[in-house]
Amino acid sequence: MAHASPVSPLAPKTTPEVGPVAGVRFATAEAGIRYKGRTDVLLLTLDAGTSVAGVFTRSKCPSAPVEWCRANLPNGTARALVVNSGNANAFTGAKGRESTALTAKIAAKALGCREEEIYLASTGVIGEPLDATKFEGVLAETATRLAPLPWIEPAKAIMTTDTFPKLATAKVKIDGVEVTIAGIAKGAGMIAPDMATMLSFVFTDAAIEAPALQALLSKGVTDSFNAVTIDGDTSTSDTLMLFATGASGAPRIDDAKDPRLGRFRKALTGVLADLAEQVARDGEGARKLVKIHVTGATSKRSARRIAMSIANSPLVKTAVAGEDANWGRIVMAVGKAGEPAERDRLSISFGAIRVAHEGARDPAYDEGEVSAYMKNDVIDITVDLGLGRGADRVMTCDLTKEYVAINGDYRS
């Protein structure tokens, strides 16, 4: 499904080796959703007893698949995930709901499970009804080819405007039994008339009850996917799901705070953070990864808002693209966040170079040194507010002419 674009200069140097996750199998297929002869369906199946958790777009106008998943999540169990490209089934009204129901019905029949155990995600054109009858026959045939490896396949199958496949993995022990975590993601951004959504699916063979799994995911997302922004725009279809098959033989756990989950919790957070960073590294047109650290705020929540105001400022992002350590624009973005800030207590650093201190230019800094720093691929910007102990970090990328070209030039 991938477009032919040059690979982002920020792509990881190597693709991680991701081993099998017991209880998870997958296969891809061509259903002709929008084009003939193109892989456009990914079927992932899960052993009986798999529990599921999810977080979705905060959009007030979510896609039909997001509504379908949200409605079924309280059941807590999953047997399959069907992801299609070519059509996002978003803004399709009543037809969209009928389409998700029919897709789930076809998948459930092919796999011999209940419809409410089928989870769905779609990416592609919006506003066009998705003809779910195209899944008829296709999913049953796909189910005959399911295999546990290699993970690069589903990672590639969900790509749209991504320039590289995104995978992350970890192995840890729960009560002495080794479990695997494996995750894939596709990046955020839109390319007309297709809507390219952030999708991420994480799988483990640990045995964790659904409410505990949801608690782990909801906590893990705060400082990973929720701390990444490309352009401040929110897809109607953003979806992150976590599935636990229990097939590792590790003991079943029903409390997210269970001390046996200590390492697992950390490893899951690491996988989510890794995937989220890869999404930022593949922002449309991105040439630089920008990490914004805010310290000395009145609270973490306030620090997050200030960091997001900086990360979403077109003037900050164009300055980074221009390799300019323009701290005036950082001050501007702090000022417009609406959070407690005192001009005369602000300090701003690019990398380890402090350029502003106590509300004025730092007389000690060397212009040549900071200019050299700005040529790096990864730029750290630290803002200390000098007010309290609230701190946070978010990630974004620069705003380049390529972003405008990708999102505005497709008609010319």
- Which sequence positions are flagged as catalytic? 197
Nearer to its own copies, 25 or 34 (CB): 34
Please report whether residue 48 would count as binding its own copies according to CB under 8 A: no
CB of 166 to its own copies, least distance (A): 21
Nearer to its own copies, 28 or 197 (CB): 197
Pseudo-torsion of CA 268, 272, 273, 276, nearest 10°? 180
Q: What is the Cα–Cα distance from 398 to 396, expressed in whole angstroms?
A: 7
Nearer to its own copies, 167 or 306 (CB): 306
Among residues 74, 148, 193, 262, which is the contact residue for its own copies, using CB under 8 A?
193
Q: Is 284 annotated as a binding residue?
A: yes
Dig out the tokens for 356 from the structure.
């502003």
Among residues 278, 326, 347, 382, which is the contact residue for its own copies, using CB under 8 A?
326
CB of 63 to its own copies, least distance (A): 9
Phi, psi of 104 (to 5 degrees): -65, -35
Dig out the tokens for 184 from the structure.
């894939």
Among residues 35, 338, 377, 378, which is the contact residue for its own copies, using CB under 8 A?
338
Q: Which of positions 68-107 make contact with its own copies (CB under 8 A)? A: 90-95
Q: What is the Cα–Cα distance from 316 to 320, expressed in whole angstroms?
A: 6
Please report whether residue 397 would count as binding its own copies according to CB under 8 A: no
State the first-to-last Cα distance of the chain, in angstroms, to the nearest integer: 23
Q: Is 407 annotated as a binding residue?
A: yes
Please report whether residue 9 would count as binding its own copies according to CB under 8 A: no
DSSP 14-77: SPPP----TTEEEEEE---SSSTTS--EEEEEE-TT-EEEEEE---SS--HHHHHHHHHGGG-B
Q: Yes or no: say if 115 and 101 are a contact pair by the CB < 8 Å rule.
A: yes
Among residues 315, 376, 377, 389, which is the contact residue for its own copies, using CB under 8 A?
315
Q: Is 197 annotated as a binding residue?
A: yes
Q: Is 84 annotated as a binding residue?
A: no
DSSP 137-194: THHHHHGGG-BS--THHHHHHT-SS-SS-EEEEEEEEETTEEEEEEEEEE----BTTE
Q: Which of positions 125-144 make contact with its own copies (CB under 8 A)? A: 125-128
Residue 136: which residues within 8 A CB-CB, separation 6 or more? Answer: 106
CB of 405 to its own copies, least distance (A): 7
CB of 210 to its own copies, least distance (A): 27
Among residues 280, 319, 353, 397, which is the contact residue for its own copies, using CB under 8 A?
319
**Site for its own copies (CB under 8 A): how many residues?**
73
Q: What is the Cα–Cα distance from 295 to 299, expressed in whole angstroms?
A: 9
Please report whether residue 58 would count as binding its own copies according to CB under 8 A: yes
Q: Is 237 annotated as a binding residue?
A: no
Q: Yes or no: say if 259 and 167 are a contact pair by the CB < 8 Å rule.
A: no
Please report whether residue 328 would count as binding its own copies according to CB under 8 A: yes
Which of 404, 195, 200, 112 is CA-nearest to residue 286? Answer: 404
Cβ neighbours around 383 below 10 Å, total: 26
CB of 57 to its own copies, least distance (A): 8
Dig out the tokens for 251 from the structure.
């003991």
Please report whether residue 122 would count as binding its own copies according to CB under 8 A: no
Please report whether residue 388 would count as binding its own copies according to CB under 8 A: no
Q: Which of positions 145-174 make contact with its own copies (CB under 8 A)? A: none
Please report whether residue 337 would count as binding its own copies according to CB under 8 A: yes
- Would you give the DSSP letter of residue 126? S
CB of 304 to its own copies, least distance (A): 16
The region of 98-106, 111-119, 250-258, 327-335 touching its own copies under the rule CB under 8 A is 327-335
Q: Yes or no: say if 125 and 162 are a contact pair by the CB < 8 Å rule.
A: no
Which x/- pattern, by CB under 8 A, does the window 356-375 give for its own copies? x-xxxx--------------
Nearer to its own copies, 126 or 395 (CB): 126
Q: Which of positions 229-288 make contact with its own copies (CB under 8 A)? A: 231-236
Binding residues for substrate: 160, 186, 197, 284, 407, 412
